[in-house]
Structure 1
């Protein structure tokens, strides 16, 4: 009953915050409950396995596809191609669109090992991606297990229904790819909803990057992101925390080094659970308590008696109403710090830490560090 009431409360909060969110324009990009009544010249388009180009009047035309056997008695127009097969160790281009506008929603549900599927996004014909993240982590599901998330930016619904609502402007076009690093073929159902419309001069480009440290070294800060150069705003992060220590693990401070900060940051948090807007170890009634709200959330994956031996946690925070703005550069770190029974801090070692940071900035962006290989990415 308690969990059901929490879920209902989260849905109510989500609706309330959606009503309060203010639109920045009426071009059909930044829609919410406050401006849905406004007319726009934007043209709505959608790409899926039933319409790979997103062209008007071209959906549901497939005569062959992943489900043509199931539709053999019905034929064209009857769900012949609702998904794609991504061959082992290959890359599939989901979308390659020309024009001006914005991605408004992405839905995906994949098979296989989500850490072995790499999602990349390119804006305006750039050679290097602005988004390069394992697919599950992009949707706050970095441990390969689906937990329900009800937030403004990302929703995860039963069963493994991944949704992104980040607005992603483009001025000349965009490309989205998924690379399958695994030795087995995978199936992916997907839909990318976007609009074609004029983009404001001050619209920045969406970026997202993955980092992992496993095992994490003793007395070293975990660098969630660095080498962001240019002007923009940090809008949130998803953090995976796998601990190999007993006791509390979240004393560490998050630090934002803004515009040439050196030894000391401009923004310094007071603890891991504090940054993710919880308190006192996320514990109620002597157990971890999951929560999912419009802007913040936390979940715990409890070990079983056999294969899953470590405690693993997922945390997200979106800076929708409080973006962290930078003019020159940005670096974000968090400490791996626990608590000793004698009342002293305990620097942790051997943790499995990974993060996805989300930000907007003017192009060009700095080159991303090389993504770890398949074995280094995989959660075991």
Structure 2
């Protein structure tokens, strides 16, 4: 037997793979072979004539990409302004949705910013395996998204005014067939503006079928004093009732941290944000920064954004799954039940059909504090 030196990672690049590469953007809106960059500009024919969608009207839903399968979306890139003259909450006002095959209810539904780990309608840099956000608001997603019959990606503008320019590209590969055990990508945004004491916040529920839970993004606004991160993340799997099969040891532990995220420097408390391939704390509200933004003042509660990708350790389920996190803090007298403002995006793969999502909050209810 001859050992194969091309085992994975960069060493697998020389191995020729099947499939036909395509891309959809404003320069080739249907991903057609040999028809990219045909629009003309003042520079002449095929000279950057259609780099983006122009003036996406308030209230409009635009189809970014629609393609027939079988195929796999391999990369999505988006960038857009984060504010207009009307308001500063564009990243929460734009709603991203994705549909697989013939479904009429979305498998992905989230405010645009939160899907890319940019909650609170504010941009931040993210450097992880499946989600990368580069300066300034260069949103990238590398979660593979297979489809057998067709795929459709839309953006709804719930902002008060038109979005002057929306840039995007969807890179995908067409295949003759997909393996029988191929599952579909899902993501769902939720928020509880004020959690209830002694009641776990629900990250994901009402999922039926076989699949794998692959990630969590959390946008946490703390509304009480003291340390907030003692709540344990729970995974209720395949019929678990009162108690879960998997129970973590604390919120900061789940996101890969330890002993809080703060250190003392020159007599001041400093929050240590971080980005790693599978877990990170990319965003912490900076009141000094907000002071210089004419649309904000510095009277805001602390806001923190976290991600945790279960890529090397997916949570496998065969019947159903529910994911929750306790709202528990600690101070000198010990543990206590808290009430905070929590928003999350859950990411998972499952066989179709999926359960219909609960209605998305109105844009005003989605806005940060």
TM-score normalized with structure 1 length:
0.87
> Match of 1:280, SS?
coil
CA distance in 2, matches of 1:204, 1:250: 33
- In structure 2, the residue matched to 1:66 is none
Query: Aligned runs of 1:268-283 on 2, under 5 Å?
Result: 268-283=247-262
- Indicate yes or no: 2:47 matched with 1:78: yes
Unaligned runs of 5+ in 1: 1-20, 24-31, 64-70
Instruction: Give the counterpart of 2:67 among 70, 92, 97.
Output: 97
- Indicate yes or no: 2:329 matched with 1:345: no
C-alpha distance 22-154 of structure 1, shift in aligned 2 (>3 A): farther
Instruction: Give the drift of 1:354.
Output: 0.4
- Indicate yes or no: 2:344 matched with 1:378: no
Maintained 8 Å contact 1:302/1:310: no
Per mean C-alpha deviation after superposition, the further-off stretch among 144-153 and 363-372 is 144-153
CA distance in 1, matches of 2:74, 2:330: 42
- Indicate yes or no: 2:204 matched with 1:225: yes
Instruction: Give the drift of 1:372.
Output: 0.5
CA distance in 1, matches of 2:96, 2:203: 18
| Paired residues, number | 342
Q: Which runs of 4+ in 1 moved over 4 A?
A: none
> Match of 1:33, SS?
helix
Unaligned runs of 5+ in 2: 1-5, 84-89, 292-296
Maintained 8 Å contact 2:91/2:122: no
CA distance in 1, matches of 2:132, 2:207: 27
- In structure 2, the residue matched to 1:319 is 310
CA distance in 1, matches of 2:107, 2:10: 29
Maintained 8 Å contact 2:120/2:367: no
Instruction: Give the drift of 1:334.
Output: 0.4
* C-alpha RMSD of the superposition: 1.5
C-alpha distance 201-22 of structure 1, shift in aligned 2 (>3 A): farther
- In structure 2, the residue matched to 1:361 is 350
C-alpha distance 22-128 of structure 1, shift in aligned 2 (>3 A): farther
Instruction: Give the drift of 1:301.
Output: 1.6
- In structure 2, the residue matched to 1:309 is 300
Query: Aligned runs of 1:14-25 on 2, under 5 Å?
Result: none
Instruction: Give the drift of 1:147.
Output: 1.6
CA distance in 2, matches of 1:172, 1:269: 39
CA distance in 2, matches of 1:58, 1:161: 25
Instruction: Give the drift of 1:308.
Output: 4.7
TM-score normalized with structure 2 length:
0.90
CA distance in 1, matches of 2:45, 2:222: 51
CA distance in 1, matches of 2:187, 2:194: 23
- In structure 1, the residue matched to 2:144 is 167
Instruction: Give the counterpart of 2:105 among 124, 128, 147.
Output: 128
- In structure 2, the residue matched to 1:289 is 272
- In structure 1, the residue matched to 2:181 is 202
CA distance in 2, matches of 1:22, 1:104: 20
Alignment deviations for residues 179-222 of structure 1 (CA, whole Å, 9 cap, x no partner): 01112111210000000013111111000001100022222211
CA distance in 1, matches of 2:11, 2:123: 32
CA distance in 2, matches of 1:260, 1:138: 28
CA distance in 2, matches of 1:75, 1:301: 46
> Match of 2:364, SS?
helix
- In structure 2, the residue matched to 1:138 is 115
CA distance in 2, matches of 1:232, 1:58: 37
Instruction: Give the drift of 1:22.
Output: 7.1
Per mean C-alpha deviation after superposition, the further-off stretch among 77-86 and 265-274 is 77-86
- Indicate yes or no: 2:284 matched with 1:300: yes
> Match of 1:274, SS?
helix
- In structure 1, the residue matched to 2:294 is none
CA distance in 2, matches of 1:225, 1:362: 16
Maintained 8 Å contact 1:303/1:310: no
Per mean C-alpha deviation after superposition, the further-off stretch among 47-56 and 213-222 is 213-222
- In structure 2, the residue matched to 1:330 is 321
